[in-house]
Amino acid sequence: MKLLIIEDDSAYADIIACRMRRHGFSCETINHADLALHKAMLWQPTHILLDLKLANESGLDLIVPLRASLPMAKIILLTGFASIASAVEAMRRGADDYLAKPVDSNTLLKALMGEINLEALTLKTMSPDQLAWEHINQVLSNNDGNISATARQLGIHRRTLQRKLQKKNLEV
């Protein structure tokens, strides 16, 4: 079984690859959407794990060409920003499943092996605080950890953002 992991966060991709290798998968990772289709054509994976947000591109745009090139491959969309709308769109474009990050190994294995499907999967609902925290982290990541740029983009004072980050880190 060959698993292609298309994920812009290379550390996260490496962690998933390590976990899946323990379960018998041969894994390759790719961090750029523009190279993903070429890599898939060359390597011919049986399974594809595709991130919804790939830097400035959408993983949704890769589903149709991946499905056309590899009709038998199991394509699973993985996202930190799960929503019913994106799940429906992923399935409409040809994804086999849709999972919210973080995902545990058992759930991922079941999805890869076809033991769960979107209808059986209840999307995790987030509280407003969790949603806000996820949004802050995404914007911070997009700004390469720059607090000032992130605060400007969020429309809050830099010190307010620092207090929010410090408070959350103390709770964890």
Confidence of residue 169 (pLDDT cuts 50, 70, 90): low
| Residue 116 pLDDT exceeds 50 | yes
Q: CATH no. for residue 7?
A: 3.40.50.2300
Whether residue 144 sits in one domain with residue 60: no
| Integer Cα distance of 62 and 93 in angstroms | 9
For residue 167, the enclosing domain spans 128-171
| Residue 17 pLDDT exceeds 70 | yes
Query: Which domain-ending residue is among 87, 112, 137?
Result: 112
Whether residue 66 sits in one domain with residue 142: no
Whether residue 75 sits in one domain with residue 132: no
Whether residue 155 sits in one domain with residue 97: no
Instruction: Indicate the burial class of 48 (C-beta count within 10 angstroms; 0-12, 13-18, 19 or more).
Output: buried
* Low-confidence winner among 57-66, 81-90, 148-157 (lowest mean pLDDT): 81-90
Total domain count, the chain: 2
Mean pLDDT of 9-36: 92
The token duo for 57 is 């591109």
